Structure 1
């Protein structure tokens, strides 16, 4: 009889070096907590090509990496008007005990004008957020 882990580590995944950093740290955190992983790769869906949204090959690679970890996992690819809200909604729905997100370096003007998914997740999360860099 298999048991379901009591804790969930939510990884905000993007198919780049920042997403890989979040994935690596998320796997370590899930092992430490004996938790399952929910990897969320969200997009607004309003651009022809969203470089932060994983294609089918990248999702297959992500699934293989998570399977190799031996941890229970699930991959979600929501299309939502707000990527940060999609991550926060998934964390709440799955009862995540921690969110892992990769941080990008941004200029001062970029911070002021563009906002940041990671920043909004950090400020809006009801659980601890592990923010990592590659």
Structure 2
């Protein structure tokens, strides 16, 4: 089993990566890092003490990130858990804007571990 994480350009994405790395260490397993940012991750952002498989964003820039993550989970049957960073949102915000994390929680073929970012962004 390995742990997957969807990393975005946000405090939630950073928290998810840190938590997924801790989870992979605790389970003594590898990390599937799905990069949804609009840049390549630096060496400082990738955990060095883990076996990491890095999947960079591919296809059109406007590709649905939920579809991209779900496709990767289907392609990597060894993944047993998906880690996502989340933040509190109002009911109106959820209705009007939707949420990638919410859609992934509902559609993921593997269990999802959500980690909440506190108000200070850490």
> 4+ runs of 1 displaced by more than 6 Å?
none
- The normalised TM-score by structure 2 is 0.82
Whether 2:49 is the aligned partner of 1:55: answer: no
Inter-CA distance 54–113: structure 2 relative to 1 (3 Å threshold)? same
Unaligned runs of 5+ in 2: 118-122
Indicate if the aligned counterparts of 1:8 and 1:98 stay in contact, CA closer than 8 A.
Answer: yes
* Matched position secondary structure for 2:53: strand
Partner of residue 120, structure 2: none
Task: Select the structure that is richer in helix.
Answer: 1
Once residues 133 and 73 of structure 1 are traced to their aligned partners in structure 2, the CA distance between those partners, rounded to angstroms, is 23
> Shift of residue 54 of structure 1?
4.2
Unaligned regions of 5+ residues in structure 1, if any? 1-6, 43-52
Number of residue equivalences? 112
RMSD over aligned Cα, in angstroms? 1.5
Report whether the alignment pairs 1:85 with 2:75: no
Q: Which is richer in strand?
A: 2
Q: With structure 1 as the length reference, what TM-score do the two structures score? A: 0.76
